[in-house]
């Protein structure tokens, strides 16, 4: 057996992932309902924010939310999160989940109605990891 790290997923590997991931859920009696997403915010042709993630089974997961440092606290992040919530309401998903570190955005997500499910503590409070969820209704 040869184990190696690959820098970019090629077609062969991507097909393997999709096939095995899908069939495992189906064989377990679970509908995959898979969808990757990426929403961007632009102003005057300049990229100011991005939100990425995937939806699968019954949940939507926010992977990354990034807003340009010069545009923070302008509402862009809230609008990007709202775009994800709006996109997936009524499509068979029951919740949105995400993780964030203490130095990133726990208070931001609380203000948007996300509830802490769990906090993985760390000696450095900035590196405590927060697990959030919000019901999609």
Average pLDDT over residues 76-95: 96
State the pLDDT at residue 35: 92
Does the domain at 32-135 match CATH 3.10.129.10? Answer given as no
Domain positions in the chain: 32-135
Q: What is the DSSP string of 36-79?
A: EEEEEEEETTEEEEEEEEEEETTEEEEEEEEE-GGGTTSSHHHH
pTM given for the model: 0.88
- Name the percent of the chain lying above pLDDT 70: 100
Question: Which of the two residues, 34 and 114, has the higher pLDDT score?
Answer: 114
71 pLDDT more than 90: no
Q: What pLDDT, on a 0 to 100 scale, did the predictor assign at position 46?
A: 92
């Amino acid at each position: 057996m040869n184990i190696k790290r690959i820098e970019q997923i090629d077609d062969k590997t991507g097909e393997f992932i999709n096939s095995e991931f899908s069939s495992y859920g189906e064989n377990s009696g679970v509908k995959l309902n898979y969808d990757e997403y990426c929403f961007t915010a632009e102003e005057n042709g300049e990229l100011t924010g991005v939100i990425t993630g995937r939806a699968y089974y019954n949940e939507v997961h926010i992977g990354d939310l990034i807003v340009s440092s010069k545009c923070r606290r302008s509402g862009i992040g809230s609008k990007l999160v709202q775009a994800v919530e709006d996109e997936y309401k009524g499509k068979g998903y029951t919740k949105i989940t995400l993780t964030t570190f203490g130095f990133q955005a726990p208070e931001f997500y609380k203000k948007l109605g996300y509830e802490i499910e769990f906090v993985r503590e760390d000696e450095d409070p900035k590196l405590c990891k927060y697990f959030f969820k919000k019901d999609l209704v």
